[in-house]
Amino acid sequence: MYDVIVIGAGPAGMMASITAARNNKRVLLLEKNSNLGKKLLITGGGRCNLTNLKNVNNFCKEVSVNSNSLKYSLNVFGPKQIYNYFSDLGVALKVEDNDRVFPKGDDSTLIVDALYSELKRYNVFINYNCSVIDIISNDIGYTIYTNIGSFRTVNVIVATGSRSYPKTGSTGDGYKFANQLNQPLTELYPAQVPLKLLEPLPLTGITIESVKIKLNNIVKEGSILFTHKGVSGPAVFKISEYVYHEFKNKEEVAIFINFLPDETEESLFEKMSEYNPKKEIKSFIKEFLPSRLTKYILGVSKINGSDKITIISNKNKRIIINNIINYKIYIKNSFMVETSLITGGGVDLRYINNQTMESTINHGIYFVGELLDVHGSTGGYNITIALATGYVAGSSIT
């Protein structure tokens, strides 16, 4: 008999197990894989973007839905507490651009190993290769039925992750359990996905470190990578869920890319006009953009790159500039949750006590991490959400 059984050994599940066990609770952690933190190990290209050191208010600005429901968890165990927690465990950390935190060793195993050491320290029981089949209520709590037997517990923390990266074990089990328990869910949708273009561009492999992407009145900033089918990278991931929702109302959706977000049309026009008039126009653009992108911009502008700036009319200068700071590309309606970095939607937070993460419908059932209808941008936000909600749930087990 356990005080709590935690289903799923990702960051939320491991943190929930540790905090519950630290409060002298008898904890069993069930993991369907043969090792802990399988998805966590591949995040950030294997480097693990652990958290983001923005203050709670600025952090929540990067959470696209239900950010207010997170504020309690983030104030209890937010970015600063997470940084200090892992530092105290002996993991050397560093802060990179945009307040992103990584292990100094650029190795996600450092984070997983630190959590595993804490699980052992507090005597958390762990069953690997254990797939949960059913959660059934009984007179004292719940019976968890699995492929290796059944287990009785007073409380259950569901930390199974979403449907993104199914090869890591995130196959949507938590949604099935929620349905079995009549726990309301919101619509699932792909968030943070590369975008396929109706007409792929001959720019494969080009990365621009800072662009702005616009859809209607929504603007997202970050780097962009051109792929053989479309575009990828942080700026694209941030705008992608809005593109997905736009397709619900429109058959055709386009986004606009500003390759020089620090420039305006007028500032760029002025710089172009003041540039050495005897030089070729491509020389000017190459001051700002890679050669292949320069050639492409001039091509779609129908301007010969060898033309001297002095012979280019003001009208044509503005055509070039418009294609640099307001380039329009049409998106292909091709979205799958399984190929997204994050699954949008999930357990409806209206039926979750955000100060404990306990269901208001099913006493003793807690939902944490990406299973919830809340997610942030790329940059350490979603691991933070997982750790914070896991911490609060584990601490709330009485």
Q: CA 46 to CA 37: how far, in whole Å?
A: 12
- Provide the pLDDT for residue 246: 96
Contact 383, 51 (CB under 8 A): yes
Distance CA 154, CA 1 (A): 8
How far apart CA 196 and CA 10 sit, in angstroms, is 30
Q: Which residue has the higher pLDDT, 102 or 342?
A: 102
Residue-level pLDDT at 193: 93
Predicted confidence (pLDDT) at residue 168 exceeds the cutoff of 80:
no
Q: What band does 398 get if pLDDT is binned at 50, 70 and 90?
A: confident
Phi, psi (deg, nearest 5) at residue 67 = -65, -30
Q: How many CB atoms lie within 10 A of CB 339?
A: 13
Whose tokens are 């609060």? That residue is: 392
Phi, psi of 314 (to 5 degrees): -60, -35
Nearest to 329 by CA among 190, 245, 193, 203: 203
Q: Where are the domains of the chain?
A: 2-189+340-395, 194-335
String of DSSP letters for 130-187: --EEEEEE-SSSEEEEETTEEEEEEEEEE----SSSGGGT-SSHHHHHHHHTT--BPP
Number of Cβ within 10 Å of residue 87's Cβ equals 11
Tokens (6 digits) for 260: 């020089």
Contacts with 136 (C-beta within 8 Å, 6 or more apart), sequence order: 142, 143, 145
Distance CA 259, CA 212 (A): 7
Helix (H) or strand (E) holding 28: strand 27-30
The CATH code of domain 2-189+340-395 reads 3.50.50.60
C-alpha distances (whole Å) from 225 to each of 82, 235, 374 are: 31, 9, 26
Percent of the chain's residues with pLDDT above 90: 91
In angstroms, the CA 178 to CA 188 distance is: 13
- Range with the poorest average pLDDT among 9-18, 74-83, 151-160, 340-349: 340-349
- At 352-371, the pLDDT tens digits run 999 999 999 999 999 999 99
User: How many Å apart are CA 38 and CA 167, to the nearest integer?
Assistant: 9
| CB neighbour burial string for 259-285, b if at least 16 within 10 angstroms, e if fewer | bbbebeeeebbeebeebeeeebbbebb
Question: How do residues 25-49 score in pLDDT, each as one tens digit?
Answer: 999 999 999 999 998 998 888 999 9
Q: Around Cβ 11, how many Cβ atoms within 10 Å?
A: 33
> What region, left, alpha or beta, does residue 192 occupy, with left being phi > 0 and alpha being psi -120 to 50 degrees?
left
Alpha helical stretches, state H, 232-356: 234-246, 265-274, 281-286, 291-300, 314-325
Query: Token pair of 247, please?
Result: 């397709």
pLDDT value of residue 162: 85
Q: Please give the pLDDT value at position 343.
A: 92
**CA dist., res. 47 & res. 98, Å (int):** 16
